[in-house]
Amino acid sequence: MERKSYPTDLTDMEWEILAPLIPPPKEGGHPPTTDMGEICNAIYFHLKTGCQWNMLPGDFPPRSTVYSYYSKWQGQGVWEKFNHTLGSQVRSKLGKSTQPTALAADSQSVKTDQRKRMCMVLTDVKR
């Protein structure tokens, strides 16, 4: 049975871009039985709606599986890879350099213990 579609679902084109960025399963382990696209769709649904993990609609993979991948990918930096890749592609389509050339920050968005490091980053950007 095909599940209901949600506005947060990845398009085929988006999935084509993101799929190669997902870490492969561990060698020698149990082969994955869950569709990684559905895991991503469930995670995006959770992030967009703000629902609790146990409130994910039942037509997504089990919440424990979804949360497990979300947490593991967070630790592996997968979300940063997603954001960097998609951001670069958007900038490229807009005719801009894939890497931003400026950074804006204010003291309200930088934690106190990170101010010195942020100042060093800003100095490097200005060079």
pLDDT tens across the length of the chain (127 residues): 678 899 999 999 889 988 999 988 888 878 888 999 999 999 999 999 999 999 999 999 999 999 999 999 999 999 888 888 888 877 788 887 777 777 777 666 555 554 444 444 444 444 4
Q: What does the pLDDT read at residue 1?
A: 61
Q: Which DSSP string do the residues of 63-115 spell out, in sequence order? A: HHHHHHHHHHHHHHTHHHHHHHHHHHHHHHHTTS-SS-S-----TTSS-GGGH
Q: Is the pTM of this model over 0.95?
A: no
